[in-house]
Structure 1
Amino acid sequence: MTATPVPTLAPRPTQRAKGRNVLAVASGKGGVGKTWFSITLTHALARANQRVLLFDGDLGLANVDIQLGLMPKYDLGSVVTGRLTLNQAAVNYPEGGFDVIAGRSGSGSLANIPLSRLQLLGDDLNLLACAYDRVVLDLGAGVEKTVRALSNNAGTILVVTTDEPTSLTDAYAFIKVTLMERPGTDIRVVVNMANSTREGERIYNTLLKACEGFLKSSPPLAGVIRRDLKVREAIRNQSPLLTRSPNSEAAADVEAIVDKLLGGR
């Protein structure tokens, strides 16, 4: 699918506090379904009548466009080099009803950009966010400086984990580093690929106990997403789950997360 540029967006009259409407999706390690969740979360927000932008902030291994089957004319690389503004790099994804700023797929060239350039990119993102109800920021895995710098622009961080011990350990590490740098950050936990809702809650409680015991922090559970073969089918077919299998269990679980998020607006 060839993406089309989005018309210039003027910020809405009501200016939001920095990052308040930016949802960053993070994980301690790769392979936990973070990008898939970012896409599905964005789609669910759009279906809830939110004006949404999906920003591929995985500067090392961007793949939002691949999962969506997009062939964007512009990407984040053009913004970093100064050839385009962030707004000019946004393209519309009609099938999902949301906008996308793609990363540079198959290239690690953005992973080592200077911290000062990242901060400018974050400032631009916060300005652009004023034109949307929500911005979903798909971060790279890990706790590298690029990930931390971009996460600083988010009002809420959703940390995705699974039942794998390494996933839980790395999710804890991300929470620890974030709270050390930004005490009081609104961090919430998403358990993905759980065998059942109850099992997902058990996995969350394992992480919660570690956070309470060592960090004196109690990040709430944003939601549990059950393991669902329909997810793999959607990714393989480069189609959003809510388009291909809107009645699947995983789709319902993500929509429940959105209901909870929008409950607090």
Structure 2
Amino acid sequence: MIAAIAETGRLVAIASGKGGVGKTWLSATLADGLARAGQRVLLVDWDFGLANLDVQLGLTPGCDMMQVLRRGQPISDAIINFVPRLDILAGSSGTGAMAGLDTETLDHLLAAVRTCAKDYDYVICDLAAGLDQGVRRMAATADLLLVVVTDEPTSLTDAYAVLKLHGRDGDAGRGEIIVNRAKSPPSGTRTYATLAHACTAFLGHTPPLAGVIRNDERVTDSIRRQTPLLTRHPNCPAAQDVEALVQRLLTCPHQPVQLARAFYA
């Protein structure tokens, strides 16, 4: 159980279920867009086995969450600045040391992230692929869960599983859908409708569409060059779509989740 913390920044968790749908890129680009809009942002790599946000951004962190956890240091010691108003909290990659953390340790990390959130307007958490306990606990305690999908059947199936479990663990009304790599806005809307129909029929609620990100070769270019899309190609279609998502977040009311709510795995 996690104690409630008042007046923190809005915690947005980004999940996918299936890997390879552009979730990490979207997390980084959304955080960058919010920072450019004047918000103070902390981008958290909530992956305890294959963290790679630092690689996408071309960073070499001095330490990560695993190292500060092992040393008994405050989690803030692992935060580094990336660009003005955007800080990064690196995850742990390749060691396996943080995989399968116990409930008490996970709750400690969640509370530590919430404490750090008091210094920011937004905390963007890039969740690991899959549905392990660490992913579910962060999703359940987030103020908003954004589930990233593509038009691939496996992506839609896994996203449905994420939303189904989120409804059990937390507040189903806090889950929204982002369609990535859409061929066009209408195509993205159709992909969303497929998933939304399944949620309505079998889960009893319809997650809203947060946004559609068009397929854009300049995204691949920016990833290869380890440069934010909004810096390298600020006017491309995908950048415009991310900017629209930023504006949606800025105009959406912030209703903090009740952190004292019990979580049952």
Are residues 43 and 88 of structure 1, via their aligned partners in 2, closer, same or farther at CA, if it must alter by over 3 Å?
A: same
Q: Which runs of 5+ in 1 are unaligned?
A: 1-13
Residue among 176, 179, 190 paired with 1:191: 179
For the residues of structure 2 that align with 1:183 and 1:93, how far apart are their CA atoms? Answer: 32
Per the alignment, residue 10 of structure 1 pairs with none
Matched-pair contact (CA < 8 Å) for 1:35–1:138: yes
Matched-pair contact (CA < 8 Å) for 2:11–2:142: yes
Matched-pair contact (CA < 8 Å) for 2:46–2:128: yes
Q: How does 1:157-196 map to 2 (within 5 A)?
A: 157-196=145-184
Identical positions, percent:
47
Q: Which runs of 5+ in 2 are unaligned?
A: 254-265
Per the alignment, residue 5 of structure 1 pairs with none
Secondary structure of 1:87's aligned partner: helix
Per the alignment, residue 252 of structure 1 pairs with 240
Per the alignment, residue 123 of structure 1 pairs with 111
Per the alignment, residue 35 of structure 1 pairs with 24
For the residues of structure 2 that align with 1:71 and 1:92, how far apart are their CA atoms? Answer: 11
Matched-pair contact (CA < 8 Å) for 1:178–1:185: no
* Per-residue Cα deviation, 1:198-240 (whole angstroms, up to 9, x for no partner): 0000000000000000000111000000000000011111111
Secondary structure of 1:157's aligned partner: strand
Q: How does 1:64-83 map to 2 (within 5 A)?
A: 64-83=53-72
Q: How many equivalent residue pairs?
A: 249
Residue among 201, 204, 211 paired with 2:199: 211
Matched-pair contact (CA < 8 Å) for 2:163–2:172: no
Matched-pair contact (CA < 8 Å) for 1:91–1:101: yes
1:185, CA displacement in angstroms? 4.3
Matched-pair contact (CA < 8 Å) for 1:79–1:89: yes
1:77, CA displacement in angstroms? 1.1
Matched-pair contact (CA < 8 Å) for 1:80–1:117: no
For the residues of structure 1 that align with 2:26 and 2:94, how far apart are their CA atoms? Answer: 20
Secondary structure of 1:152's aligned partner: helix
Per the alignment, residue 16 of structure 1 pairs with 7
Per the alignment, residue 89 of structure 1 pairs with 78
Per the alignment, residue 9 of structure 1 pairs with none
Normalised by the size of structure 1, how large is the TM-score? 0.90
1:105, CA displacement in angstroms? 2.8
1:223 aligns with 2:211: yes
Deviates further, 96-105 or 204-213: 96-105
